A = this chain, B = another copy of it.
Amino acid sequence: MEKEGGSQRATIRDVAARAGVALSSVSRALSGHPDVSDEMRKRVEEAARALGYEPNLVAQSLRSGVTRTIGFVIRDISSPMFALLARSCEQELRRNGYSMILVNSDGNVDNEARNFALLRRRRVDGIIASLVAEDSPYLQKNLTAAHCPIVLLDRQVSGLKVSAVLSNHGAGVYLATKQLLERGHRNIAFITGSSNVYPTRSRLEGIERAFREFKLEVPQDLLATGGFDSDYALAHARALIHKTPAPTAIVAGGLGALMGVTKALKESNLEMGKDIAVVALDELPYIEVFSGDISTVYRDPEAIGREAAQLVLEGLAGKAPRESVIDTLFVERGSSAGGL
């Protein structure tokens, strides 16, 4: 019932001593090895319980060469979508006996490289990563030297054997753009996100497909790529609004962009869904209750998290890396109306 050694933790050696058997027998008894008599199993379990023995996973990892740990490298976990994604991913990993070790890169490639190195030293069994960029200089080395399966979130790095979960942003953006075009919009402004990542390429593909169907040219001067965080997004949104001819619709990709647009419209006393049509790419959780009426291109963050976990588990099972595509859909709400 009580610990014998006082505050020290019981080891397998203590259990062996108490049960009066060899170390190896304890190990076999507790790990379900077949070569163990019932008598032995009972004595060992009894002793283990009495000592409050809990196996040392560090020692097990060293011996077995496997840590049952997955590294999760993320640009910024505070984004609500990532939070949902991380949760479902952790649940799925835990259900399969793995723990998740979480590191933020804070959007910084140097941090990201350090984080990869840290995970390598920790001998994680696999890595799930939302990379800052696809063209970071350390990237090739980080991905090839990892010695473990890797799953990328919404990133494509050519020439490497890694898995990836890709959202088909283009599909939803295509539908949204098509609807705007059908309603007569021609001056549609797009804020698509940083140009060096897959989502932007996918979105552009959707935009171009829609315009092509209408035999129109994409208005290049209303097309804004580039990182859009907070202040910069606001400045950019202001500039877009005041172009001539003024855009009658805005498609804002990413939270920063949406915030910028929202503020800029407020400043100019423009109401979305009335004076100007607005579509957001990716939506906040709880959007229906709080942000109300914003039309969005939606993707299910929990599905992405689960799929990422599945892909890394597949890799651990020895399967070849592969890409998995998650669909997006256009959710029409009030904000995409209006604007002439």
Residues of A that sit less than 8 Å from B by CB: 7, 9, 52, 54-59, 61-62, 67, 69, 72, 76-80, 82-84, 86-87, 90-91, 94, 99-104, 106, 117-118, 120-123, 145, 147, 255, 258-259, 262-263, 284-286, 289-291
Shortest distance from the beta carbon of A101 to any chain B beta carbon, whole Å: 5
A-B pairs with lowest CB-CB distance, top 4: A83-B83, A290-B291, A78-B87, A102-B102
Which chain B positions have C-beta within 8 A of A80? Answer: 78, 80, 83, 285
Known: A58-B61, A67-B58, A120-B54. A101 touches B102 (CB 8 A): yes
* Nearest B-chain residue to A305, judged by Cβ: B78
Contact yes or no, B99 A118, CB < 8 A: yes
Task: Provide a sorted-by-A list of 25 A–B residue pairs whose CB atoms are within 8 angstroms.
Answer: A7-B147, A56-B123, A57-B121, A57-B123, A58-B61, A58-B122, A58-B123, A62-B62, A72-B102, A77-B86, A78-B80, A79-B83, A82-B83, A83-B83, A90-B104, A91-B106, A94-B104, A99-B103, A99-B118, A101-B101, A259-B290, A262-B289, A284-B286, A290-B291, A291-B291
Shortest distance from the beta carbon of A70 to any chain B beta carbon, whole Å: 10
Which chain B positions have C-beta within 8 A of A67? Answer: 58
Contact yes or no, A84 B90, CB < 8 A: no
Shortest distance from the beta carbon of A172 to any chain B beta carbon, whole Å: 20
Known: A61-B58, A117-B54. A83 touches B77 (CB 8 A): yes
Main secondary structure on chain A at its contact with chain B? mixed
Known: A91-B106, A262-B289. 8 other contacts (CB 8 A): A58-B58, A77-B86, A78-B80, A82-B83, A90-B102, A99-B101, A290-B290, A291-B291
Q: How far is the CA of A94 from the CA of B73 in the complex (A)?
A: 13
Shortest distance from the beta carbon of A230 to any chain B beta carbon, whole Å: 10
Which chain B positions have C-beta within 8 A of A117? Answer: 54
Q: How far is the CA of A102 from the CA of B284 in the complex (A)?
A: 23
* Nearest B-chain residue to A145, judged by Cβ: B52
Contact yes or no, B102 A100, CB < 8 A: yes
Q: How far is the CA of A57 from the CA of B117 in the complex (A)?
A: 11
* Nearest B-chain residue to A55, judged by Cβ: B121
Which chain B positions have C-beta within 8 A of A106? Answer: 91
Which chain B positions have C-beta within 8 A of A289? Answer: 258-259, 262-263
* Nearest B-chain residue to A87, judged by Cβ: B78
Q: How far is the CA of A79 from the CA of B86 in the complex (A)?
A: 11
Shortest distance from the beta carbon of A142 to any chain B beta carbon, whole Å: 12
Most buried by B among A94, A103, A123, A290: A290
Shortest distance from the beta carbon of A249 to any chain B beta carbon, whole Å: 20
